Amino acid sequence: MQNEKFAALLYKLRKEKGFTQKELAELLQVSDKTVSKWECAAGLPDISMLSKLSELLSVSTEALLSGEIDRNPLVVGNMRKSKFYICPSCGNLLTATDEAAIFCCGRVLQEATPQKADAEHMLLIEPCEDELFISAKHPMSKEHYIAFAAFVTGDKILLQKLYPEWDMQFRLQSRNKHGRLYFYCTQHGFFYQTI
């Protein structure tokens, strides 16, 4: 960790959060002179403080250690490039339109890679006016069910949460009948169908 880079980042993040040196020091249970010393590149915090500091400043410990926040380039609106992340512990679904560091339940999540739906997982898709009616004979038990479906076009994602022991059917309002339908089976993984 380079003192100057860390000092500049700490100053910037503290200001963004609206903390004075004294307020940040109180939250960390150190003196305001200690925070001032860090921001002047005259010292560094003890490693045991990095976790609390990163939490207070809403930044990863890796960013603090490197003294840099890597910003993603501006993504110009193609939702087809969206990435899905599914937590193996709680089933939480997170999405991003570009590269991202996604965490849930204390784990770094990897991008879910969809596989083309096989005959067992194929969903029935029926256009109906400006909606798509989607259904399947897939089991919907507590141990084995489709947890969500997402219809992705160039400019939008329509997301449907599904629940065990409910019928596997729903409607998506979309004038655009062309896109990709992603869905997640709790036992067999992440699938897609092109519409």
The DSSP line for 86-148 is E-TTT--EEEESS---EEETTEEEPPP--EE--TTTPPEEEEETTEEEEE-----SSSS-EEE
For the segment 55-102, what is each residue's pLDDT rounded down to a tens digit?
Answer: 898 888 888 888 877 665 555 557 888 899 999 888 899 999 877 888
Q: How confident is the model at residue 126 (pLDDT cuts 50, 70, 90)?
A: confident
Bridge partner residues of 144 (DSSP) = none
Q: Which fold has domain 3-66?
A: 434 Repressor (Amino-terminal Domain) (1.10.260)
Listed by start position, the domains of the chain span 3-66, 79-194
Which residues, including other chains, have CB under 8 Å from residue 171's CB and lie 6 or more apart? 128, 131, 132, 133, 134
Measured distance CA(42)–CA(23) in Å, rounded: 20
What is the identity of the amino acid at 41?
A: A
CA 81 to chain centre: 14
Tens digits of per-residue pLDDT, 98-111?
778 888 988 889 99
| Residue pointed to by tokens 């069910």 | 145
The answer to whether domain 79-194 has CATH 2.60.40.730 is yes
Tens of pLDDT, residues 130-182 = 788 899 989 999 999 999 999 998 888 889 999 999 999 998 877 667 889 99
Q: Which residue has the tokens 């002047």?
A: 40
